Structure 1
Amino acid sequence: MDLEKMSNENKLDLCKWYFKVGFVFLPFIWAVNAIWFFNEAFRKPAYDEQKQIRKYVIFSGIGAILWGLVLTAWIITFQVNRVAWGQFADDLSFIIPLGS
């Protein structure tokens, strides 16, 4: 989809929709929203809807970063403690590695 062909009102609606969809535990959508609308929010000449788009872009970026940090912390914690957690960790694992 080409943002240049969309009206400013439709851009705002799409940006807002992506932001709301990100709350359904889809932080990837927030990352896409922040990247896709970054130029519209910060680099284009000012227009009426730009202030709201900027708000959604900032919150989408913050949400994606926070989700990334939480996911990274969980991955590190699980990998470090997998052996010590025993059967509980095996129950959480999709693939159980061989060895320790």
Structure 2
Amino acid sequence: MDITKVPNERKLELCRTYFRAGFAFLPFAWAINVVWFFNEAFNKPPYEEQKQIRRYVLFSALGAAVWLVVLIAWITIFQTYRAQWGEVADRMSFIIPLGKP
């Protein structure tokens, strides 16, 4: 998406929308928000809406990073202890790997 042609008010509205969408357990929306608006928030000459966009970008980056850490921790724990958890882990799995009982 090319946001260079969009007015500043619309940029702020779009950035705010993606930030709020991240709270619906959509951390990918936060990541997109950071990628799309990073340049607007930190590298463009100052304008009125930039301060708010910068805040949304920073909080989106923080939210996406927290989700990434939580997801990596869960994957690591689940893969490490899946065999020990028995039937509970089998019910959580879509594919039951062959190997350890």
Instruction: Give the corresponding residue for 1:18.
Output: 18
Instruction: Give the corresponding residue for 2:72.
Output: 72
Deviations 1:32-82 (A, max 9, x none): 101110000000000000000000000000000000000000000000000
Q: TM-score, normalised to structure 1's length?
A: 0.98
Q: TM-score, normalised to structure 2's length?
A: 0.97
Runs of 4+ aligned residues of structure 1 deviating over 6 Å after TM superposition are: none
Unaligned runs of 5+ in 1: none
The residue type equivalent to 2:79 in the other structure is Q
Percent identity, aligned pairs only, is 62
Number of residues paired by the alignment? 100
Q: Please state if 1:9 is matched with 2:5.
A: no
Provide the rounded CA distance (Å) in 1 between the counterparts of 2:57 and 2:35.
Answer: 8
Provide the rounded CA distance (Å) in 2 between the counterparts of 1:70 and 1:2.
Answer: 32
Backbone CA RMSD of aligned residues: 0.5
Give SS of 2:20's match: helix
Provide the rounded CA distance (Å) in 2 between the counterparts of 1:95 and 1:26.
Answer: 24
Unaligned runs of 5+ in 2: none
Provide the rounded CA distance (Å) in 1 between the counterparts of 2:63 and 2:2.
Answer: 25
The residue type equivalent to 1:38 in the other structure is F
